[in-house]
């Protein structure tokens, strides 16, 4: 059994791709393209005069609020090409909290499992875990570019 499979088993319902599938993709979402290299990236959130920006590698993304920046930061760390962003912005901060917690918990379980191994082996195992997370998220997909809107605007039923 691979280490990524062991981490997935220990995480259970808190596995990051499972949270993404169950909490994000089940609702109305819009696709957001990050177009990043498929590898782990350092990310940083900046507060500028123009608003909040997420820096991932050498790219910067303008974000409407801190919750969205934190949400996108999880996917940028993994090097995801695209992800789904909930259309209801009030849900984004809570989901970002859960995704960040899952990310940190995954890393703690990985560190615990690799305690006696050399630094180079730990690095390869971390890269393998990140690749597994990224692949599962990409399999779930980012969905449509824009959510479907109901055309009916009548408030009363006939």
- What's the pLDDT at 76? 95
Q: How far, in Å, CA of 33 to CA of 37, rounded?
A: 12
State pLDDT tens for residues 4-61.
888 899 998 999 999 999 999 998 899 999 988 888 889 999 998 889 999 998 999 9
Q: pLDDT higher for 115 or 157?
A: 115
Give yes or no for residue 132 having a pLDDT over 60: yes
Q: Which DSSP string corresponds to the chain?
A: --HHHHHHHHHGGG-HHHHIIIIITTS-EEEEE----SS---EEEEEETTEEEEEETTEEEEESSHHHHHHHHHHHHHT-SEEEEESSTTTHHHHHHHHHHHHHHHHHHHHHHTTTS-HHHHHHHHHHHHHHHHHHHHHH----SS--------SS--
What total of structural domains would you count in the chain? 1
Over residues 52-81, the mean pLDDT reads: 94
Share of the chain above pLDDT 70, in %: 91
Look at residue 147 and tell me if it is in a domain.
no
Q: What pLDDT does residue 37 have?
A: 87
Q: Is residue 157 part of a domain?
A: no
- What is the predicted pLDDT for the residue at 136? 93
- Structure tokens of 58? 């050498």
Residue 59 lies in a domain: yes
Residue 148 lies in a domain: no
Q: 117 in a domain, yes or no?
A: yes
State how far the Cα of 73 lies from the Cα of 55, in Å rounded to an integer.
8
**Per the domain annotation, does 154 fall within a domain?**
no
Q: How confident is the model at residue 115 (pLDDT cuts 50, 70, 90)?
A: confident
Structural tokens at position 94: 């809570």
The confidence band for 154, taking pLDDT boundaries of 50, 70 and 90, is low
Query: How confident is residue 157, by pLDDT bands cut at 50, 70 and 90?
Result: low
Query: Residue 65 has what pLDDT?
Result: 93
Range of the domain at 103: 3-140
């Amino acid at each position: 059994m691979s280490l990524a499979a062991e981490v997935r088993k220990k995480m259970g319902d808190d596995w990051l791709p499972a949270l993404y599938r169950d909490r994000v993709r089940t609702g109305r979402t819009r696709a957001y393209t990050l177009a990043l290299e498929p590898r782990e990236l350092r990310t940083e959130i900046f507060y500028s005069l123009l608003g909040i920006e997420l820096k991932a590698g050498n790219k910067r993304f303008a974000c409407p609020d801190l919750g969205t920046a934190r949400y996108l930061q999880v996917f940028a760390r993994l090097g995801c090409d695209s992800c789904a962003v909930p259309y209801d912005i009030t849900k984004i901060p809570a989901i970002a909290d859960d995704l960040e917690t899952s990310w940190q918990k995954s890393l703690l379980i990985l560190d615990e499992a690799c305690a006696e191994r050399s630094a180079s082996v730990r690095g390869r195992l971390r890269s393998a875990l990140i690749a597994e997370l990224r692949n599962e998220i990409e399999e779930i997909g980012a969905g449509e570019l824009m959510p479907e809107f109901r055309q009916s605007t009548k408030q009363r039923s006939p």
